[in-house]
Amino acid sequence: MGCITIKANHAPRQSISQPQRLKTREITITPGTFVKIQQSFQYNNYKELMKIGSGAFAEVVLCEYLPTTAQRAVKKVHKSGLSTQQRDPNFMLKEIQILKTLDHPNILKCYEIFEDENKYYVATEYCPGGDLFAEILKLKKFTEAKAAEIMFQLLSALTYCHEKKVIHRDLKPENILLLGEKDHFTIKVADFGSSCILDKEHRLNGCFGSAYYIAPEVLTNNYNEKCDIWSLGIIMYILLTGRPPYSGKDTESIIQQVKECPLIITPFKVLGLSSESVDLLQLLLCLSPEKRISAREAVSHPWIAKHRNSFDDNSIEIVLQNLRIFNCESKLKEAVHIFLASQVISNQEINNIRKHFQLLDKDGDGKITSEELMTEYKKVMSINEAKAVVEDILLKLDQDQDGNIDYTEFLISCYDQQKVLSQEHLEIAFKMFDTDGSGTITVDEIRQTLENGQLAEEEAWDMLLQEADSNGDGCIDLKEFIALMHNMQNIPVLHAVEKT
């Protein structure tokens, strides 16, 4: 297959992730974003507002999602344009399989996917700030502090992906979306359509990526995850210097330069930059993949650490308190909280949560370890007390029992539940569970929404129903649903953080 190259004006494709799964016996919700996968056409919930991008086989439309009035980006993908490698054996988009385990604050969130005879429809969060390419054209050159802010988020997302054995293979500014926050660059890595799972026993082949950002070894059909590191090095070079890495005027000439004289960073070429930034550039753009720095090593580089320190604030104590007092004894409540966090809460509402997650995530790998929590709690209590607190937090929040707190696990413990559990939001959630519009929720509808139709142990689902079915009629009406969700003590109050 030839190299996939994208012109500068190509709209970034929106990426998607896999629906969450429930373990059959314990009904444990794995972290991540719920993604509805509909086999039937469900576009009637969306009102098209404007076209925001297009490519050879897809277009992206800004829509209003009518149940919540929130804005979402919907990518319409023509089935005829998908390659074999972009489909799984069941003829669904390969991106779904690639992202099924990813749960990171800097990876684009997907809400649902459905299809008709000719197209897939992929609904994702909308990033009103556009893409990084447009920002580069506007600013020309970034300060080192702003570049480091962007690079930290990219390296954190990449560390997380690589440790999940996911290789992006098409990192470029057009595939890095911006939330559009004032005076702050919150980025979302998008377009995992060319991604793959790394097999340590075999090197990868197949030429993916765009000319400026493609790693030299990719052109030899013998590469691994370090191809993503090279791409980030090129992005960092452009951010800091304001100029492209190669002088070619077309794809063919750029590819030739990548083959014959790939970019080599010397202090002379980047005159005026700090020695720390030049050092990281040289490590990211090392010609030998074996000697090239890893994402985990790069996210802790002194240049990144220097600028990360400036992000710290004093409101982390309230988040630590929220983690301690969070309690959700009901599995159905827990599932609804995750569902609300992933389907209803906007990025504007979770800005503080995302910020505090990354402050606690000291090594930037996209998850909070028990050691990282211990570090914070030991500042205000004894080692034994801190150990007991951390063990209790993990017992309550670590749903997949991997010894870490993932992003969504953190999210449900810290968002303003009093706001989320408002009448308005609970009515929205109820309608999303009530798939047939009957005004009641059945076991089958709970299973369909939370598990996307996979078989589970019927007794466990019945136990979920019994938690809320106060009148014993075999289903949950709106009044019972709201009563269940409000019957909760020790609700954290993140709005206190927002006032600091």
User: What amino acid occupies position 261?
Assistant: C
The candidate with the shortest Cα–Cα distance to 284, out of 272, 299, 274, is 299
333 is in an annotated binding site: no
Token pair, residue 150, equals 């962007």
Q: Which residues are tagged catalytic?
A: 170
Tokens linked to 98: 């690639």
Query: Tokens 């308190």, residue?
Result: 321
Phi, psi of 52 (to 5 degrees): -120, 0
Residue with tokens 């800005």: 351
Q: What angle do CA 110, 42, 106 make, to 5 degrees?
A: 5
DSSP annotation of 225:
T
- By the 8 A CB rule, do 57 and 421 touch? no
CA distance 326 to 260: 57
Select from 481, 446, 477 the least CA-distant residue to 464: 446
Binding residues for ATP: 76
Binding residues: 76
